[in-house]
Amino acid sequence: MTNNSPALVFDLDGTLADTAEDLIGALNVLLVREGLPSVAPHAARSMVGGGARALIQRGFAAGGAPLEPERLDWLFGEFIAYYAGHIVDATRLFPGAAACLERFFEADFRLAICTNKPEHLSRLLLGRLGVADRFAAICGRETFAVNKPDPRALLLTIAAAGGDAACAVMVGDSKTDIEAAKGAGVPVVAVDFGYTETPVKAFAPDRVISHFDELWEAVASLRARGAHT
């Protein structure tokens, strides 16, 4: 790779990997321990997008048990401990994602992850899925002092990958991703199969795709129109 290689930055949960079932599984372990009703994966999928703490709060609120901050902190630790041991029980890359990563990697793109998932869990997950070595940087919640939607999280990720924000594209599934990209002045492609209650096109990304087979053309079109000159 050269110093001016284009950068392609991905969100993780709901974008590259379908992690909802394992995240909901970890939540349900906590709920059952507390004598609360578990939630069905199809009903809880929209709970996943805000991160683990928000997921726990939503799950407990649905069971009529809102949480005090101290209790949430303890449950978060329990959640992470269980989830780390079951991180790929059901989680898989979305269809076409592996081949897509390989194509961009072979085309000399600097690939990176910018996620609000803890970095150590992100690295563990990508390693178990067999694609960690494709990324020049894997940046998570505690990697920097800021997180998405703060655009600095994206800009710092691009820099960590050895990329240039002027030659970068973001790929995500949520308002958080799109706001981070827009704030950073980076074009953004949104996937429409992720974890957002509001259709992602409502947040006005530069492109929307429904399968990773469409990403190559989407990125090429953004670069061709000079969206990041």
Which are the catalytic amino acids? 11
Look up tokens 């970095």; give the residue: 119
Instruction: Please state, in angstroms and as integers, the Cα–Cα distance from residue 11 to each residue in 28, 191, 220, following that order.
Output: 24, 10, 19
The side-by-side arrangement of strands in the sheet containing 7-10 is 137-139, 110-114, 7-10, 168-172, 188-191, 207-209
Q: Could you tell me the two tokens for 191? A: 């996937």
Q: Is the peptide bond before 149 cis (omega within 30 degrees of 0)?
A: yes
Q: Could you tell me the two tokens for 162? A: 């050895």
Q: Is the dihedral of CA 107, 109, 110, 111 positive or negative?
A: negative
Supply angle C-alpha 85, 83, 209, rounded to 5.
115
SS (H, E, C) 64-97: CCCCCHHHHHHHHHHHHHHHHHCCCCCCEECCCH
